[in-house]
């Protein structure tokens, strides 16, 4: 009798458990990206562009924190191809990072499926081709990761969001630009600037009195930009996954690879207004415009355009220091941002990385600590996983700038899982630099002029409320310093976001490692992983 009573209860409990487990799994979002050539005319001159699903710019990926995003990339180009997901951390799976140090490229007329989880992330990000100079012809798009309903965000909900991709542009396609660089010549200045693929006429219709969010990403190859909206104030609320103190700006600098989200209250008289992006630190200054169109407006936007800074290095550095973490806000992870006291954690290792222009065997190259990176035929991650010797050596790059002449090499810095590192980017050149780290975000603790030394920590470091980012600018003849918790095991690309520099060797890899083989720290090679070089067959 007891068994008869217990059986329905037991079966009911199992049914409830099954339903609970199904509901507990994070949602899946599926995308198919067909990559093709197509004719485009962003600057009025027909040229070959790289399209995704026939679109330029490429489609936006909209998702929610912890979503599983599955992207099947079909390569219809005549060259191997990869996409990297700028700022997506790829927790425990550098296999999905989409760079040549971790992935074999997708051959022509083949496909590969990325499986990514937006684990504990919110914010505005972007994606673009990581192979060769492909991104100079398109293939870039936005990634918008929104907070789950249970996560509080520290600002009023906007009535609508707009995504803006700002890029510099050349009238020559990626193959012509590659030939220029391969011949030993520097890339010429861009021919123009684009907002969502157009130099002008991109329009956003809004209702007066309402609150809107603008998600803005700098997907340029070489150029820092200043962003502003005529007669409107930008309230910064997020940079690359960090909620910020809600400072109001007339304009804000965004450097190559960076993203930000602004709230804009529509308080002006009903008419049209210019949205403006202009280049920084260039001669001449290039400008792209869009239109903020108030619903019901019969009046076109009128000149002059709102003024923006041009060179003004000190102005930009001073502004960068005003961007600060909102310590009272929740991040995508469960704990409040302010509970992580990054400034009190002991640093286990300091690395100083100096960028430089180099001449090797009569050819223009770019280097980090005098080593100009060359991709081996076998991805570093595959060589590491299968213990293939001769592909790379850990700590093949010096921790400080050496005195020897520039050389070719495969640069890898080895760290132990959970190391806490200070990385200083030293820029002794006259041009602005921008550096990006895959796999982790980091605290942008310091900016300063001249040559960095340890005494500058006390004077210039923000050890309380610096924002976390994935890309940091380094001003001419200056330094920038970051602190990073290396808690994501894998092989991660640290690169110049200035793409011609990266193309000609200004990058390296950070290997984060421990001897424990466990899915708690890193996943195995995916079953669908492509093979190349010395990688064993499946």
Asked if the 22-151 domain carries CATH number 1.10.3720.10, the reply is no
Q: Tell me if residue 235 falls in helix, strand or coil.
A: strand
In which band, very low, low, confident or very high, does the pLDDT at 21 lie, cut at 50, 70 and 90? very low
Is the Cα torsion angle 279, 165, 134, 442 positive or negative in sign? positive
pLDDT at 25: 83
pLDDT at 149: 85
Kindly report the average pLDDT of the chain as a whole number: 93
pLDDT at 413: 98
Q: Is the pLDDT of residue 7 over 50?
A: no
pLDDT at 8: 46
pLDDT at 146: 95
Q: Mean pLDDT over residues 419-445, rounded?
A: 97
- Name the residue among 350, 389, 353 with its Cα closest to residue 507: 353
**Cα distances (Å, whole numbers) of residue 171 to 74, 339, 492:** 26, 49, 33
According to CATH, the superfamily of the domain at 349-513 is: Cupredoxins -  blue copper proteins (2.60.40.420)
Helix (H), strand (E) at residue 115:
strand 110-117
Phi-psi category of 271—alpha, beta or left, where left has phi over 0 and alpha has psi -120 to 50?
beta
Residue 31 contacts residue 53 (beta carbons within 8 Å): no
In which band, very low, low, confident or very high, does the pLDDT at 152 lie, cut at 50, 70 and 90? confident
**Residues 461-505 pLDDT 10s:** 999 999 999 999 999 999 999 999 999 999 999 999 999 999 999
Distance between alpha carbon 271 and the CA centroid of its chain, in Å? 35
- Name the residue among 145, 141, 96 with its Cα closest to residue 121: 145
pLDDT at 151: 82
**Residues 22-81 pLDDT 10s:** 446 899 999 999 999 999 999 999 999 999 999 999 999 999 999 999 999 999 999 999
Outline where DSSP puts E strands in 224-330.
225-229, 234-239, 242-243, 248-249, 252-254, 259-265, 272-279, 287-294
As beta bridge partners, residue 239 has 242
**Residues 291-341 pLDDT 10s:** 999 999 999 999 999 999 999 999 999 999 999 999 887 654 433 344 468
pLDDT at 330: 61
Q: CB count, 10 Å around CB of 39?
A: 10
Outline where DSSP puts E strands in 374-489.
407-409, 412-416, 419-427, 433-437, 442-449, 468-469, 471-474, 478-486
CA–CA separation, 198 and 178 (whole Å): 23
Which residues have CB under 8 Å from 123's CB, separation 6+? 87, 145, 238, 239, 240, 241, 242, 259, 261
Q: Can you give the residue ranges of every domain in the chain?
A: 22-151, 153-326, 349-513
Q: Mean pLDDT over residues 431-441, rounded?
A: 97
Q: Is the pLDDT of residue 3 over 80?
A: no
Q: Is the pLDDT of residue 105 over 60?
A: yes
152-156, 232-236, 416-420, 423-427 — which is least confidently predicted?
A: 152-156
pLDDT at 238: 96
Look at the block and give the residue holding tokens 């330094």. Answer: 479
In which band, very low, low, confident or very high, does the pLDDT at 345 lie, cut at 50, 70 and 90? very high
CA–CA separation, 104 and 375 (whole Å): 11
Do 22-151 and 153-326 have matching folds? yes
Look at the block and give the residue holding tokens 């004077």. Answer: 459
CA–CA separation, 490 and 511 (whole Å): 6
- Name the residue among 211, 248, 238, 29 with its Cα closest to residue 123: 238
pLDDT at 331: 53
CA–CA separation, 204 and 206 (whole Å): 6
Does pTM top 0.95 for this prediction?
A: no
Residue 374 contacts residue 409 (beta carbons within 8 Å): yes
CA–CA separation, 418 and 402 (whole Å): 27
pLDDT at 258: 98
Which residues have CB under 8 Å from 168's CB, separation 6+? 190, 192, 193, 194, 220, 221, 222, 223, 279, 286
CATH class assigned to 153-326:
mainly beta
pLDDT at 329: 73
In which band, very low, low, confident or very high, does the pLDDT at 20 lie, cut at 50, 70 and 90? very low
Which residues have CB under 8 Å from 315's CB, separation 6+? 309
Rg (CA), the chain: 24
Residue 316 contacts residue 254 (beta carbons within 8 Å): no
- Name the residue among 108, 133, 86 with its Cα closest to residue 35: 108
**Residues 169-192 pLDDT 10s:** 999 999 999 999 999 999 999 999
Which residues have CB under 8 Å from 56's CB, separation 6+? 38, 40, 42, 49, 50, 138, 197
pLDDT at 150: 83
């Amino acid at each position: 009798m007891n068994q008869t009573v217990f059986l329905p209860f037991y079966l009911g409990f199992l049914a409830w458990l099954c339903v609970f487990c199904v509901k507990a799994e994070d949602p899946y979002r599926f995308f198919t990206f067909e990559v093709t050539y197509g004719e485009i005319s962003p600057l009025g001159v027909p040229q070959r562009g790289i399209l995704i699903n026939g679109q330029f710019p490429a489609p936006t990926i909209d998702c929610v924190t912890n979503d599983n995003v599955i992207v099947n990339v079909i390569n219809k180009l005549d060259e191997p191809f990869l996409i990297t997901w700028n700022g997506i951390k790829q927790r425990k799976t550098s296999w999905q990072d989409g760079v040549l140090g971790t992935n074999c490229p997708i051959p022509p007329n083949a496909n590969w499926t990325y499986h990514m989880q937006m684990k504990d992330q919110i914010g505005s990000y972007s994606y673009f081709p990581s192979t060769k100079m492909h991104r100079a012809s398109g293939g870039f798009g936005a990634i918008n990761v929104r907070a789950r309903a249970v996560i509080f965000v520290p600002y009023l909900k906007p009535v609508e969001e707009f995504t803006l991709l700002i890029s510099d542009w050349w009238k020559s396609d990626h193959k012509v630009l590659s030939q220029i660089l391969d011949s030993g010549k520097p890339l010429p200045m861009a021919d123009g600037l684009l907002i969502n693929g157009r130099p002008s006429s991109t329009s956003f219709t809004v209702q007066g009195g309402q609150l809107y969010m603008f998600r803005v990403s700098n997907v340029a190859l070489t150029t820092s930009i200043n962003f502003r909206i005529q007669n409107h104030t930008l309230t910064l609320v997020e940079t690359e996954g960090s909620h910020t103190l809600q400072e109001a700006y007339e304009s804000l600098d965004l450097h190559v690879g960076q993203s930000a989200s602004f709230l804009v209250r529509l308080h002006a008289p009903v008419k049209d207004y210019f949205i403006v992006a202009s280049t920084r630190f260039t001669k001449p200054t290039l400008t792209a415009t869009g239109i903020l169109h108030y619903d019901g407006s019969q009046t076109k936007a009128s000149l002059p355009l709102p003024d923006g800074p041009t060179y003004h290095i000190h102005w930009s550095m001073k502004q960068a220091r005003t961007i600060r973490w909102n310590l009272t806000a929740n991040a995508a992870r469960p704990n409040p941002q302010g509970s992580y006291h990054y400034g009190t954690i002991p640093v286990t290792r300091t690395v100083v990385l100096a960028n430089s222009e180099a001449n090797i065997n009569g050819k223009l190259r770019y280097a980090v600590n005098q080593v100009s990176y060359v991709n081996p035929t076998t991805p570093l991650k595959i060589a590491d996983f299968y213990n293939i010797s001769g592909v790379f050596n850990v700590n093949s790059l010096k921790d400080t700038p050496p005195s020897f002449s520039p050389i070719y090499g495969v640069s890898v810095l080895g760290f132990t899982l959970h190391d806490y590192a200070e990385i200083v980017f030293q820029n002794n050149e006259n041009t602005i630099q921008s550096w990006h780290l895959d796999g982790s975000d980091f605290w942008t603790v310091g900016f300063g002029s001249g040559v960095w030394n340890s005494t500058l920590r006390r004077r210039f470091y923000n050890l309380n409320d610096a924002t976390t980012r994935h890309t940091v600018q380094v001003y001419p003849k200056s330094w920038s310093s970051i602190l990073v918790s290396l808690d994501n095991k894998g092989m991660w690309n640290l690169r110049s976001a200035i793409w011609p520099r990266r193309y000609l060797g200004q990058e390296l890899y950070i290997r984060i490692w421990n001897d424990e083989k466990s899915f708690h720290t890193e996943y195995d090679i995916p079953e669908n992983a492509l093979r190349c070089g010395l990688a064993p067959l499946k």
